[in-house]
Amino acid sequence: MTRERHGDDQRRAADHPTPGWYRLRLVKGGWPVPCLLTYTADGWRATIDGEALEAHPDPWHAQGVDKVHHYGQRISEAEYDKLLEGKEWARARRPDHPCLHPRRPIDHLHLTPLSTKDFLL
């Protein structure tokens, strides 16, 4: 029995994108953002970090589809929703949180620790 490096859930055809939920780091060491690949009547569309990009019938001409397909990690819909909810939580309570600045690498020396007051409603 051989083991696949990335597992069955990460395997995909290089020449044909797979619709679904993904997470992607926009920079090395940055916070992973939620991404969604969809195919509709308008064509292929990528939604990266909550922003729907331009659709196109050819997936390789649709903005962002190639980046998400080749570099994104497949996740479940629940994980996708959790990443979006975390962003809303950070907007309300922690404006310095790395999820709000995904194009900046995370500097672990300057992260502020979470306290119990961050979790009180």
Residue range of the domain that includes 61:
17-118
Q: Is 1 domain-assigned? A: no
Q: Is 3 domain-assigned? A: no
7-16, 18-27, 49-58, range with the lowest pLDDT: 7-16
Q: Is 11 domain-assigned? A: no
pLDDT at 91 over 60: yes
pLDDT tens, position by position, 25-71 = 999 999 999 999 999 999 999 999 999 999 999 998 999 999 999 99
Q: Is 89 domain-assigned? A: yes
How far are the Cα atoms of 43, 46, 71 from residue 101, in angstroms, in the given order?
29, 20, 19
pLDDT at 4 over 60: no
| Count of domains observed in the chain | 1
Nearest to 23 by CA among 105, 99, 111, 97: 99
Q: Is 45 domain-assigned? A: yes
Q: Is 2 domain-assigned? A: no
